[in-house]
């Protein structure tokens, strides 16, 4: 038996453009993505003998299989192995919050089992496998700030980003990503080549580039998100944006202490859950 404890980080979308919709139903995107140090803890235990793959720490409906379990099943099949695997997830990242927690868990399992079992699958193949699980999984395998195009699987490293910190604010309700995309009325015909490159050298440039095409859909159903943005700006944030399909909103702060103090103030006044976080620029 071998065991390993791993960190599974959240992400934010510094910008998210929806460029169109493919015939298979997936949307064509262009996004700047950044991992942050709000992390689930994933303990992987691999037994010497064949057996079931069990995932604890995530509530599921009867008959559903967690994406982390599917990731373990996928990489063991790739390697031609049959092993019992226990996956214990200590959830810190809120669910259905636009922070990619489930996709991060899946990527952590793929990368973790590859290393633990010395499979030598390699990053490129792990990213391909991750795409079959979810569009955000390849980004977490990639493990660094990225410009993502296609459905999110075509990744290029971003130039170094300005040293800022973020305050994540979660209002306490979930948002269905599927509902947001289904409700999106596409009036956009831009191509990736026509978009300004997400190359920012200062915090002012970062804030100027921040945009999210999904925000108008989510705000139409959950106006509290717009309120959170306004409150963040009134409490020292230099910019504010919804991450992914929501409901988490992040504010940009010059330093961690400013984000922490603002978070305590907002939690006490509004009852929101807040997370002051630092960006992650390299694989954990």
CA–CA distance, 132 with 32 (Å, rounded to integer): 21
Q: Looking at the predicted structure, is the pLDDT value of residue 62 above 60?
A: no
Catalytic status, residue 174? no
Q: Which of 11, 114, 213, 229 is catalytic?
A: 11
Residue 40 has a pLDDT of 97
CA–CA distance, 243 with 12 (Å, rounded to integer): 5
Q: Looking at the predicted structure, is the pLDDT value of residue 152 above 70?
A: yes
Contact in structure between 165 and 238 (CB atoms under 8 Å): no
Residue 186 has a pLDDT of 62
Task: Provide the terminal-to-terminal Cα distance of the chain, rounded to the nearest Å.
Answer: 23
In tens, the pLDDT along 87-138 reads 999 999 999 899 999 999 999 999 999 999 999 999 999 999 999 999 999 9
Catalytic status, residue 136? yes
Contact in structure between 85 and 44 (CB atoms under 8 Å): yes
What is the overall mean pLDDT for the chain? 92
- C-alpha atoms less than 13 angstroms from C-alpha of 203 in its C-beta half-sphere: 13
Find the mean pLDDT for residues 159-170.
Answer: 95
Map out the domains of the chain with their CATH numbers.
2-157 (3.30.230.10), 165-280 (3.30.70.890)
Coil, helix or strand at residue 272:
coil
Residue 193 has a pLDDT of 47
Residue 86 has a pLDDT of 96
Q: Which of 40, 86, 136, 213 is catalytic?
A: 136
Find the mean pLDDT for residues 256-270.
Answer: 98
In tens, the pLDDT along 12-31 reads 999 999 988 888 878 899 99
Residue 59 has a pLDDT of 64
In tens, the pLDDT along 173-215 reads 999 988 998 888 765 444 554 555 677 778 999 999 999 999 9
CA–CA distance, 262 with 251 (Å, rounded to integer): 10
Residue 165 has a pLDDT of 98
Contact in structure between 152 and 214 (CB atoms under 8 Å): no
Coil, helix or strand at residue 126:
helix
Residue 60 has a pLDDT of 53
Residue 200 has a pLDDT of 77
- For residue 161 the two structure tokens come to 């980003």
Task: Count how many residues are written for the chain.
Answer: 284
């Amino acid at each position: 038996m071998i065991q390993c404890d791993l960190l599974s980080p959240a992400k934010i979308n510094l910008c998210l453009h929806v460029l169109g919709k493919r015939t298979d139903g997936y949307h064509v995107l262009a996004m700047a993505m950044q991992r942050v140090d709000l992390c689930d803890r994933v303990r992987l235990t691999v037994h010497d003998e064949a057996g079931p793959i069990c995932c604890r720490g995530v509530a599921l409906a009867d008959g559903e299989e967690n994406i982390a379990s599917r990731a373990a099943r996928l990489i063991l099949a790739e390697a031609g192995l049959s092993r019992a695997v226990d996956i214990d997830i200590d959830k810190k990242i809120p669910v259905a919050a636009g922070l990619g927690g489930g996709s991060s868990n899946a990527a952590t399992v793929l990368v973790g089992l590859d290393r633990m079992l010395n499979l030598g699958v390699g990053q490129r193949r792990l990213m391909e496998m991750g795409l079959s699980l979810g569009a955000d999984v390849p980004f977490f395998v990639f493990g660094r700030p990225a410009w993502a195009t296609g459905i999110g699987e075509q990744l290029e490293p971003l130039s170094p980003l300005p040293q800022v910190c973020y305050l994540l604010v979660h209002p306490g309700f979930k948002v269905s990503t599927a509902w947001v995309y289904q409700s999106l009325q596409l009036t956009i015909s831009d191509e990736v080549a026509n978009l300004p490159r997400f190359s920012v050298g200062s915090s002012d440039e970062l804030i100027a580039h921040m945009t999210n095409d999904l925000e108008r859909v989510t705000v139409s159903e959950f106006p509290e998100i717009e309120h959170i943005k306004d409150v963040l700006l009134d409490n020292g944030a230099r910019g504010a944006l919804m991450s992914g399909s929501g409901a988490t909103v992040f504010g940009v702060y010059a330093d961690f202490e400013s984000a922490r103090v603002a978070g305590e103030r907002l939690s006490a006044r509004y009852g929101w859950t807040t997370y002051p976080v630092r960006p992650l620029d390299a694989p954990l």
